[in-house]
Structure 1
């Protein structure tokens, strides 16, 4: 057997079109870069035209600027991206408020971006895969917040738990069409969004004390896990929420 460390992955996704939402920054951008490096034709969605332009210059990807909280806009962008072989629903927001002060608008916006957009884009991509009879794979980017109650994260935690549940149903219903659906669930990942929640050294130290590996996750490490779940080596993994947490959930 060839050791995994010497396997050439430069053409792993050659001939595949991969749609990545929230591709402008953080995990989404790292995923777009990694998949492009492994031969994929990347279609990138983000609400930031500037981020998309810089990503296009870097990897030559197709881009669509879209506000995914807008259902009609999300559908239009997903339809314009077809045909898609692999999907990464990564777009997400965090509105940090104490539960007693959590306003309905912040809750609804979080659910719209973090869950509903994944459903809308996932429906369109899955229908296309079924019509073409190609099968495929979908990875929804969730969080350990799906299982842990973090202060100020009521809307975010609720959205990620909902995304995990949605993913399991997608896996059950789409599996018969050869479409696998999984989530990747990282702990705090060093992205611009994470800095808002965990930028305070005291708060970060408390979180780090619960991670046996004693560090946060890098976006590239989450991207590698996403690539694994999209690839042929995981062809019997379906409906799984895969933690990338340094052992946080093991305590």
Structure 2
């Protein structure tokens, strides 16, 4: 775990659940962590637990606010796209607002934040990694989870296309098995990125 010393990590959805656990683990492993959440109270609690963590309160569903917030953050080496919401509705009752909100947070935010981080990594020729936190719901239909399942399936494909297009920058993707947490099971995709020709 010493490899995280001196590395800067951004974790979205870090206020609770998987994201909080990842932020704490990375901080304790020596990384300088920027924890992002839309709930200030959750970030305050996290900072009390790990005073060295830098917090950033922003709603990743808001494209402009997210871009403005990340412009104030120093270069990132490790990104964990964990932010997500589950607005559960039966298929016949799915609303436009629930659909739009779910896709903006669970999918579009991962695209936007990954673009920002990857562009900077490549520009400075620095090695790094992006982790997209998906779910077994991406592979299996769940009652009342029409929109959630759809967003996670789309996130899986986004991750694959990211790997393909970032390939020239040494960005293969791997899919470890599910991790049991208090928030359910999650599948993670790891995208190592390097702007150097040797991929080191």
TM bracket (short chain) = 0.7 to 0.9
> Helix, strand or coil: the match of 1:83?
coil
Larger Rg: 1
- How many residues in Structure 1 have an aligned counterpart in Structure 2? 191
* Counterpart in the other structure of 2:197: none
Matches of 2:106 and 2:125, distance apart in 1:
28
Is residue 171–residue 191 contact of structure 2 (8 Å, CA) maintained in 1? no
* Counterpart in the other structure of 2:100: 108
Is residue 174–residue 191 contact of structure 2 (8 Å, CA) maintained in 1? no
| 1:20 to partner: Cα distance | 0.1
Matched, 1:93 2:85: yes
Matches of 1:135 and 1:12, distance apart in 2:
12
From 36, 42, 46, the equivalent of 1:51 is 42
Q: Which runs of 5+ in 1 are unaligned?
A: 1-8, 195-216, 232-251
> Helix, strand or coil: the match of 1:80?
coil
Normalising by structure 2, we get a TM-score of: 0.87
Name the one with the larger helix percent.
1
Matched, 1:157 2:149: yes
From 8, 17, 23, the equivalent of 2:14 is 23
Distance 1:31 1:174, change over 3 A: same
Distance 1:124 1:22, change over 3 A: same
**What is the aligned-residue RMSD (CA, Å)?**
2.2
Is residue 99–residue 152 contact of structure 1 (8 Å, CA) maintained in 2? yes
* Counterpart in the other structure of 1:40: 31
Q: Which runs of 5+ in 2 are unaligned?
A: 193-200
Alignment deviations for residues 33-78 of structure 1 (CA, whole Å, 9 cap, x no partner): 1111111110010001111112122221111100111000111222
| 1:181 to partner: Cα distance | 4.9
| 1:182 to partner: Cα distance | 5.1
Is residue 163–residue 191 contact of structure 2 (8 Å, CA) maintained in 1? no
| 1:79 to partner: Cα distance | 2.4
Correspondences of 1:199-238 after superposition (within 5 Å) = 229=190
